[in-house]
Structure 1
């Protein structure tokens, strides 16, 4: 059985058709052939019955004619007439023999032999033929019943054919339905395996091997997906190594640039004229922007690393750290941030801190006056919802905003690395949860949900 289902889907379908459809097709062809034969036989019996009825009527007429001829010849004593009578009787005997041959086992022939013995001939008296006429009239109903019985027997045979055909369909159709349901269910299971494997690879779960069982095509697809998983895992590791290397290598010269610009601004190396001051300001802003980009790259690298899940912390601690981190940004705006926090709730420290930092920071950038953050536990899940009263997002851009370095049309001119929501997406993958935009009348609302972990 396992060997059969390891074959290609095409071969499985052919085997299922052979098992389920071929018996029905064979039964149908048998019934069509038997029906054709039955109809032909019925037609032959009908034609034969008509011929026998004519022969029977001819026999009756001939014997009546012979009776009258014998009566006349008793008076005339004509040799010519006698010869004609003998010739007529020979023809009549042939008709009678034909009736006997075509109705060998019938009640009519049995009674005929009993009441009309073969000793009668052309020299018999007219009274013998008169008795034959009476016998024929007496047995006419029995003769007709014999012919009708042949037709009724054939009709009964036709009904029996129909019964056997329906009985075969009653047995084979449920078998075909069961086989079809089984095959469709098995194909659906195999397709679900593919969907699940592709989904896992799409979510970035590269550690779990892809194993697809079933048809030969699916096994080949599983091998290719497994190869793709390993390639993506290798590329991800190279990306993380590259990001860590580049960001750390940039930190040192960036710190030197920052210290140098600060030293020049302090005036310890001499007075700075207005033109020089403008250049120093541009340098400081560029250094700050580059530092923010490096921090985001480090956060993005940390978000995609499984080690980020090892440490848990209470939500009130994460709230304090996020508020402290964003205090400078809040000091430059009139936006009010409202926290609705589940203080005793413990969550993975680093991914949740990165998620809240990025989402609250984005909300502050786009809000007009208010940002609200709600954190609660519901049905075994932790729900983080961040809302702002800004201009909202374009629904057509919603999904693409979670890709690295992708920014919406409204944010093209704003400062930022384009990594904020990508960091959120990577953290959510590590948490085995999901992130989605909520439908609101104004502003923007984003929800992050992930399973609550049991205390260690």
Structure 2
């Protein structure tokens, strides 16, 4: 049977799981009712039987007393009482004798009762004593038989209850196991389309072009959601292709004329094609600064695009001293131009991170410190371990940043309110790249307050290798 909706599938699964439990409850009710009836009948039977035995014993005493009185007094009234007592005794005896298998005691009692019915007042006293002694013994043996019969009935009832309890235990175990199996099957039936959705989402997240095929059977809500996810994946693929194409064309179409403009400005500034006056030199300076700014924007956009294309970091171990020496060598010109002194304190000899991503972090932090920090003031770089974190503190002197502005600095295309030292309007991507690189390495970037500097950016990267697996 193919269910049309997730609601129907869930409801049917719930009902199917309840069927074995309902059977167990029904069987338990029937069994307990049967046991209750057996216990009630057995109690009634035992009480009735014991009551008759007690009355029979009392009648036997009355019969013996009446016979002995009759043997002395010889009154007809006593004879009538003896006959009535014997009649009642026989009624109780017959009912009791039906409950036992061995009838020898019952037959012996019948013989004694027959003797009592034919009793004559001229009987010898010794014979009377002998007859009643035998009568009492047989009656006592019959009572013992009844007690044994009641004990057997109780034992049989206990065996039956034990058998029912054992049957109930195994039936409960079986039906609960069946219910558990049905729960597992129901969960798998419900989670199967959800798992398919997770595969589609995972494929979209990893930018896989080959998405899982749309299910042909299953709840209609989830199949509809699969169609929407496939449509979303197609739309995302189109947008991604457009973004790559736009950036590729922008880098090519912008850099080529930008290089020509820069070259032309250089020729005019150097007066290769003729002399220029002071006003023309000021215009050329504006053109040169604008071309530098435009070139910086293009480089940062391409760098940000390259970062977005890297889906997974490549962790490795590298020496921190050689890493930062190379970093300072590559940026020595910019440091010298702003007369900054670099103070480094490297307490970690070997780093564990993605070297390329970490280089982007320190490059952008240095660019930010040079652009917004005070000229001629030192820039502090501290690298140390804090628990299972590798911590980088990158600080500089300059204008302090208000707490309410700190969070937005790490957002793309967000620029601070201060004026850059290079008089170039930034793209607002530098700190965003720092934050994204840290997140890709399962870390984070944020601002902290320190006592030795005005502005400090802290980057934390896990040092545990298991985090990156």
TM-score if structure 1 supplies the norm length?
0.64
User: Does residue 46 in structure 1 map to residue 49 in structure 2?
Assistant: no
1:257-279 deviation per Cα after TM superposition (whole angstroms, max 9, x unaligned) = 76787788779676455xx8877
User: Does residue 112 in structure 1 map to residue 121 in structure 2?
Assistant: no
Deviation at 1:163, TM superposition (A): 3.9
CA contact (8 A) 1:364 1:371 kept: no
User: Gaps (5+ residues) in structure 1?
Assistant: 375-382
The match for 1:150 among 149, 153, 173 is: 153
The match for 1:446 among 443, 446, 459 is: 459
1:103-133 deviation per Cα after TM superposition (whole angstroms, max 9, x unaligned) = 244xxx5343343247945733375677434
Task: Assess, with a 3 A threshold, how the Cα gap between structure 1 residues 233 and 335 changes in structure 2: closer, same or farther.
Answer: farther
Deviation at 1:352, TM superposition (A): 7.6
Correspondence for 2:118: 124
Correspondence for 1:361: 367
**Which runs of structure 2 are paired with 1:159-170 in the superposition (5 Å)?**
159-166=162-169
Question: 2-side partners of 1:392 and 1:212: how far apart?
Answer: 52
User: Does residue 336 in structure 1 map to residue 337 in structure 2?
Assistant: no
1:127-169 deviation per Cα after TM superposition (whole angstroms, max 9, x unaligned) = 5677434422344344233324323432343334334444556
Question: 2-side partners of 1:8 and 1:153: how far apart?
Answer: 53
Correspondence for 2:386: none
What is the DSSP-based 3-state SS (H/G/I as helix, E as strand, rest coil) of the residue aligned with 1:388?
Answer: strand
Correspondence for 1:30: 27
The match for 1:388 among 379, 392, 395 is: 395
User: Does residue 436 in structure 1 map to residue 439 in structure 2?
Assistant: no
Task: Assess, with a 3 A threshold, how the Cα gap between structure 1 residues 397 and 84 changes in structure 2: closer, same or farther.
Answer: farther
The match for 2:379 among 370, 384, 406 is: 370
User: Does residue 235 in structure 1 map to residue 232 in structure 2?
Assistant: no
What is the DSSP-based 3-state SS (H/G/I as helix, E as strand, rest coil) of the residue aligned with 2:117?
Answer: coil
Task: Assess, with a 3 A threshold, how the Cα gap between structure 1 residues 130 and 384 changes in structure 2: closer, same or farther.
Answer: closer
Question: 2-side partners of 1:324 and 1:30: how far apart?
Answer: 84
User: Does residue 137 in structure 1 map to residue 140 in structure 2?
Assistant: yes
User: Does residue 95 in structure 1 map to residue 92 in structure 2?
Assistant: yes
Task: Assess, with a 3 A threshold, how the Cα gap between structure 1 residues 97 and 138 changes in structure 2: closer, same or farther.
Answer: closer
Task: Assess, with a 3 A threshold, how the Cα gap between structure 1 residues 200 and 364 changes in structure 2: closer, same or farther.
Answer: farther
User: Does residue 294 in structure 1 map to residue 298 in structure 2?
Assistant: yes
Aligned length: 419
Task: Assess, with a 3 A threshold, how the Cα gap between structure 1 residues 89 and 198 changes in structure 2: closer, same or farther.
Answer: same
Deviation at 1:417, TM superposition (A): 0.7
The match for 2:412 among 396, 404, 408 is: 404
**Which runs of structure 2 are paired with 1:179-218 in the superposition (5 Å)?**
198=201, 201-202=204-205, 205-207=206-208, 209-211=210-212, 216=218
Question: 1-side partners of 2:433 and 2:44: how far apart?
Answer: 92
Question: 2-side partners of 1:444 and 1:185: how far apart?
Answer: 49
Deviation at 1:227, TM superposition (A): 4.2
What is the DSSP-based 3-state SS (H/G/I as helix, E as strand, rest coil) of the residue aligned with 2:412?
Answer: coil
Task: Assess, with a 3 A threshold, how the Cα gap between structure 1 residues 306 and 136 changes in structure 2: closer, same or farther.
Answer: closer
What is the DSSP-based 3-state SS (H/G/I as helix, E as strand, rest coil) of the residue aligned with 1:446?
Answer: strand
User: Gaps (5+ residues) in structure 2?
Assistant: 121-127, 384-389, 451-455
Task: Assess, with a 3 A threshold, how the Cα gap between structure 1 residues 50 and 251 changes in structure 2: closer, same or farther.
Answer: same
Correspondence for 1:245: 249
CA RMSD of aligned residues (A): 5.9
CA contact (8 A) 2:59 2:89 kept: yes
Task: Assess, with a 3 A threshold, how the Cα gap between structure 1 residues 298 and 54 changes in structure 2: closer, same or farther.
Answer: closer
**Which runs of structure 2 are paired with 1:403-422 in the superposition (5 Å)?**
403-407=411-415, 415-422=425-432
Task: Assess, with a 3 A threshold, how the Cα gap between structure 1 residues 110 and 364 changes in structure 2: closer, same or farther.
Answer: farther
What is the DSSP-based 3-state SS (H/G/I as helix, E as strand, rest coil) of the residue aligned with 1:233?
Answer: helix
Deviation at 1:297, TM superposition (A): 1.9
Question: 2-side partners of 1:26 and 1:360: how far apart?
Answer: 75
